[in-house]
Amino acid sequence: MTLQDIFATDGPFGQAFPGYKLRQQQLEMALAVEEAIKSKGQLIAEAGTGTGKTFAYLVPAIMGGGKTILSTGTKTLQDQLFHRDLPLVRDVLKVPVTVALLKGRANYVCHYHLERAKHEGRFMRKEDIIDLQKVERYAKTSQSGDKASCAGVPEDAPIWQHVTSTRDNCLGGDCPNHKECFVLKARKDAQEADVVVVNHHLFFADVWLRDEGAGELLPACNTVIFDEAHQLPEVASLFFGETVTSGQLVELARDSRTEALVVAKDFVKLPQAAEALEKAVRDFRLVFKPEPARVPQHQVADLPGYNEALLDMVSKLDTLRDLLVAQAERGEGIENAGRRAQELRETLKHWQAGDSEEAVHWLDITPHGFMLHATPLNIAKLFQKQLNASPRAWVFASATLAVNGKFTHFQHELGLWQAETATWDSPFDYKQQAVLYVPQNMPDANAPDFTRKVIERAWPLLQVTQGHAFLLFTSLRAMREAHELVIQLLKDNGLDWPVLLQGTGSRTELLDQFRRSPNAILVASQTFWEGIDVKGQQLSLVVIDKLPFSPPDDPVLAARIEQMNKAGRSAFVDYQLPHAAITLKQGAGRLIRDETDIGILMIADTRLVDKPYGKLLWKSLPQMYRTREVDTVKRFFEAKTNHAASRQEQSPSETGEASPNA
């Protein structure tokens, strides 16, 4: 059966789904993916919202035979592919492919650490003890051990750090629970499956770099497909670099202390050294201000107390490492901790050496800890070397890869100069479904009263849409200010609409609450700019405060700008502008998710129309109806929603399962 037969209106999908119809864009993308698989080539595919890109790559991957790795941007999309999309395609096509889901080890219950937590856990909260009991019951009946399936225990619950393993503290073949290990079972299933679903972080950490023992997957596969491929440059930079975190150091100290209490109670120097390292890590964090920050290494050298705190932390790590190595014969746990200490010390030594032409060394200061990064400035050569290691097909798919129809930026970042490129526009009629509004007389984007003006201009639109809005900001400070302003406006107007704020719950919880709540307004930062799908009138307005240029004081960006400018290239034109265009497309893409959606996109930053480069940005967006008059926006929205409502009355909506066109 050919792809034309499969996607035809009277084909298998047409027979399985009432109302299904052939979408030419979907078929063309499927044919391009099929050709890449046959020729073992590279394909960069941009498919606009509504194209049905998931099925456009799943069908040829399944029909093509061989082993396929599907890598997604998030665990949520990973679960959707495994639990919904892949079974659906397999059932419709009646192809007996085996499918496996593989996540990082921190997503699976560890029997060894679960048992240890039961006997040695010193939990301060009653909730942790209750969660521990739930995890224990789940582990006895679960086939997968995946924490996402453990009912009643949130994925971000503190108990998980006590009952899962890390690459550092896994005992491997020496573990007494080796035979019943959920991680090993997941990897065995993945090795035997025809299609393996992973996420980008796992792909690089585990499959590509062979960091945790699943490196057998890549050599065995014929095809690798990346969905949400626009995230790859950032993820790849992280994994091609080196990082030491406060969490790794504290975990080493705590594990060393626990092992010492079990097998070396007589050796008091070991727990003392562990406690000394943990204190040194806290002291190093206290050198910096409480607020999160990203700073280049060379900028902190003169910070009071910095050098002393760093040398003290290194010294305490050295002491602990030496003691662990000396006591290694006492048990596998202590021997393993000694190896971890040595690896951390080597990475820390490289980081202390400072910047080079290839990498920038910087600090990411978090509210309660830190990360010390050495990030490569150009990953194209590293990426290309891996791509060319052995012949297989590589497909890079996303709704946002091109800038004004060109893929130069994405190709340059990953070295994909030999790849075939193709783009398919969304089948949605954006000029009839959405209006792009850029308010007039806005202050400069850096003006102190800018956020207040954004909310003032958004207020008439919020009244028209009766809430049902995402207000998206490029900084947390602006987000928090806007949240307060919106609450005050609603109070002043006697409205009791729910206002949700990013950070007050998990992303999943906030989204569920938004979908359920009439008149809801979600105030968020860039966490909600992508990977969010809310169809229908529940989301009728998206407000974006500023063009999403990365902050120029970001240490990695600053180093890249300097390197590109030295090479005679324009960092703004070649890097900052394309990156902002792709991010803006992601934010704008939240609005229209279905062919019946009607919505307003307000971008409050007048640089979009005032600056010469603004044209490139708005031309990269879907071609919506455009205006700068608020009254025109109101008329557009009211006319379109009234028309849609009358059509719905004449033709009752169909119900049924999700179509492969979605």
Token pair in block for residue 564? 């590109």
The whole-angstrom separation of Cα 487 and Cα 499 is 7
Pairing mode, strands 223-226 and 393-398:
parallel
Q: How confident is the model at residue 212 (pLDDT cuts 50, 70, 90)?
A: low
The order of strands in the sheet holding 541-544 is 499-501, 521-524, 469-472, 541-544, 599-603, 434-437, 625-627
Contacts of 356 (CB under 8 A, 6+ apart): none
Q: How confident is the model at residue 367 (pLDDT cuts 50, 70, 90)?
A: confident
Q: Give percent of the chain above pLDDT 70.
A: 95
What are 78-92's pLDDT values in tens digits? 888 999 999 999 999
Domains of the chain by residue range: 3-104+184-239+378-424, 240-376, 431-552+590-650
CB-based contact 251:166 (threshold 8 Å): yes
What is the mean pLDDT of the segment spanning 295-322? 95
What are 580-589's pLDDT values in tens digits? 999 999 989 8
CB-based contact 54:85 (threshold 8 Å): yes
Say yes or no to pLDDT of 177 above 50: yes
What is the mean pLDDT of the segment spanning 101-126? 85
What is the pTM (predicted TM-score) of this model?
0.87
How far lies 512's CA from each of 534, 535, 538, in Å? 10, 13, 12
CB-based contact 430:499 (threshold 8 Å): no
Top-level CATH class of 240-376?
mainly alpha
3-state helix, strand, coil in the chain (%, to 5): 55, 15, 35
CB-based contact 423:405 (threshold 8 Å): yes
What are 329-361's pLDDT values in tens digits? 888 889 989 999 999 999 999 999 988 888 999
Q: Which residues pair with 395 in a beta bridge?
A: 43, 225
What local confidence, expressed as pLDDT, does residue 215 receive? 59
* The two domains 240-376 and 431-552+590-650 share their CATH topology (first three levels equal): no
**Mean per-residue pLDDT of the chain:** 90
What local confidence, expressed as pLDDT, does residue 43 receive? 98
CB-based contact 575:564 (threshold 8 Å): yes
What are 259-281's pLDDT values in tens digits? 888 787 788 899 999 999 999 99
Domain 431-552+590-650 fold:
Rossmann fold (3.40.50)
The whole-angstrom separation of Cα 400 and Cα 71 is 16
Q: How confident is the model at residue 662 (pLDDT cuts 50, 70, 90)?
A: low
How far lies 49's CA from each of 33, 139, 241, 385, 406, in Å? 18, 39, 33, 32, 18
How far lies 160's CA from each of 75, 107, 307, 385, 579, in Å? 17, 9, 35, 37, 35
Side-chain half-sphere CA neighbours of 608 within 13 A: 28
CB-based contact 92:68 (threshold 8 Å): no
Say yes or no to pLDDT of 254 above 50: yes
The whole-angstrom separation of Cα 611 and Cα 66 is 50
Say yes or no to pLDDT of 642 above 60: yes
Rg of the chain in Å (alpha carbons) = 26
CB-based contact 529:477 (threshold 8 Å): no
Token pair in block for residue 79? 């679960």
Contacts of 176 (CB under 8 A, 6+ apart): 112
DSSP 435: E
What local confidence, expressed as pLDDT, does residue 239 receive? 86
Q: Chain-centre distance of CA 431, in angstroms?
A: 30
Side chain identity at residue 489, one-letter code: L
Side chain identity at residue 641, one-letter code: T
What local confidence, expressed as pLDDT, does residue 633 receive? 96
What local confidence, expressed as pLDDT, does residue 357 receive? 84
Lowest model confidence (mean pLDDT) among 20-34, 85-99, 546-560: 546-560
What local confidence, expressed as pLDDT, does residue 509 receive? 83
Name the residue among 310, 309, 316 with its Cα closest to residue 274.
316
Q: Using DSSP, state whether 601 is helix, strand or coil.
A: strand
CB-based contact 502:523 (threshold 8 Å): yes
Give the CATH superfamily of 3-104+184-239+378-424. P-loop containing nucleotide triphosphate hydrolases (3.40.50.300)
The whole-angstrom separation of Cα 352 and Cα 213 is 29
What is the mean pLDDT of the segment spanning 163-184? 87
What are 114-144's pLDDT values in tens digits? 998 888 766 768 888 999 999 999 999 999 9
Say yes or no to pLDDT of 610 above 60: yes
The order of strands in the sheet holding 242-245 is 242-245, 370-376, 359-365, 293-296
Q: Chain-centre distance of CA 281, in angstroms?
A: 28
Token pair in block for residue 149? 């399936």
Say yes or no to pLDDT of 52 above 80: yes
What local confidence, expressed as pLDDT, does residue 309 receive? 96
What are 542-552's pLDDT values in tens digits? 999 999 998 87
The whole-angstrom separation of Cα 198 and Cα 103 is 6
To which residue do tokens 């390197």 refer?
563
What is the mean pLDDT of the segment spanning 447-454? 96
